[in-house]
Amino acid sequence: MVGPMGVTRREALAGGVALATGAWGAPSLWLPSRQAAPVVVASANGLTSKNGGTVSCVETAFNLMVSGGDVLDALVEGVAIVESDPEDTSVGYGGLPNAEGTVQLDAAVMHGTRKTAGGVACLEGVRTPAKVASAVMLSTDHHLLVGEGAQKFARQMGFQVEDDLNTERSRKAWLEWKRRSDPEHFPDPRKRGGTEVAMEMAREGWFPIEHVFGTIHANAVGPDGSIAAVTTTSGLAFKIPGRVGDSPILGAGLYADGNVGAAGSTGRGEANLFGLCSFLIVEEMRRGSSPLDAGVFALRRVAEKTEARLKRPDASLAFGLQFYVLDKSGRFAGVSTNPGSFAVCDESGPRLAALEVVR
């Protein structure tokens, strides 16, 4: 029997063509079968943060998508574990606040296969900003809502809006940072940059040093070949109120193309924003580069475009920046300016893998 375009049933099966609905005699839609090696790739807190439970972000996302869930929905549920975890001071509830002690959150989601995206920035009072970003994607014709408008939208969509997302730990850290860095409020004669003080506190054990610029990014390719990405953060620790980094910006904090792959970032957002490196990585893969080579290319571009004050005497980058990359076949890589690890979950289970260091 012959189907549309003169394709026989045997030819359809041999060529990987599938019927979306209807019997063979009356097909309603013909689609290419897109099988892939399903995998979730994330920053390390995608495995280490479990919000007091036993299952991580990458495990949750992987299990949901291989059970038939949409790849982006799975990722959003996964990162919600980290956003809700008060022990992760770089994301969501208990994230390190801005210079005025207010937790302001940024997040973005992107469905590369459906060609949709949404984001929020400077959102206050909602523990799970990635879910609000998803609502922006699904319920508006916009890609980014910010500040009071983002909070109003979240409330209208039924999200709980809290007065304060600080935990005792994050507020105590902010007060100490304020004491050390702000002589107008506390009698401290030292006049130093706020980030320098935050790094000093991290070295003393107030919070993990990676949480100064901390974020969670996660991307995935599902069993059907669908590709998506999500990034969510409380931003730079003790940032100037209103500061927005790379995380909610399409092409910087994340980018996903259903025909190519996905990439996303954690670390110094300004360095990534300057080159829109997630977009750059995906475009490099479109040209034929592997995930690893594309990530290395982006970090070398960052080094090329970074001003001298942000480099060490040997010209290497003096900050942390990481990219998490996968292509449509399920190949993946993590690259960084500093040694570290990233999270992976595939059919072999969840694990940490070493980042490729690029100086």
Instruction: Say whether both 29 and 43 belong to one domain.
Output: no
Kindly give the parts of the chain with pLDDT less than 50: 1-33, 187-190
Instruction: Say whether both 144 and 49 belong to one domain.
Output: yes
What does the pLDDT look like over 323-356, one tens digit per residue? 999 999 999 999 999 999 999 999 999 999 999 9
Give the CA count within 13 Å in the CB-facing half-sphere of 282. Answer: 25
Is residue 68, in this structure, part of any structural domain at all?
A: yes
Instruction: Say whether both 14 and 84 belong to one domain.
Output: no
What is the domain-level CATH number for residue 288?
A: 3.60.20.30
Residue among 136, 127, 78 nearest 104 (CA): 127
Range of the domain at 28: 1-33
Instruction: Say whether both 62 and 147 belong to one domain.
Output: yes
The residues that are catalytic are: 215
Is residue 186, in this structure, part of any structural domain at all?
A: no
Instruction: Say whether both 86 and 11 belong to one domain.
Output: no
Instruction: Say whether both 150 and 279 belong to one domain.
Output: yes
Instruction: Say whether both 20 and 64 belong to one domain.
Output: no
Instruction: Say whether both 16 and 66 belong to one domain.
Output: no
pLDDT of residue 35: 67
Is residue 243, in this structure, part of any structural domain at all?
A: yes
Residue 178, H or E segment: helix 168-181
What does the pLDDT look like over 263-297, one tens digit per residue? 999 999 999 999 999 999 999 999 999 999 999 99
Residue 197 falls in which region: left (phi positive, over 0), alpha (psi -120 to 50) or beta: alpha
pLDDT of residue 188: 47
pTM value is 0.87
pLDDT of residue 8: 35
Is residue 317, in this structure, part of any structural domain at all?
A: yes
Q: Which residues contact 44 (CB under 8 A, 6 or more apart)?
A: 210, 340, 341, 342, 343, 352
pLDDT of residue 227: 98
Instruction: Say whether both 246 and 146 belong to one domain.
Output: yes
Beta strands at 105-111 and 254-257: parallel, antiparallel or unpaired: unpaired
Number of domains in the chain: 2
What HEC string does 311-350 produce?
A: ECCCCCECCCEEEEEEECCCCEEEEECCCCEEEEEECCEE
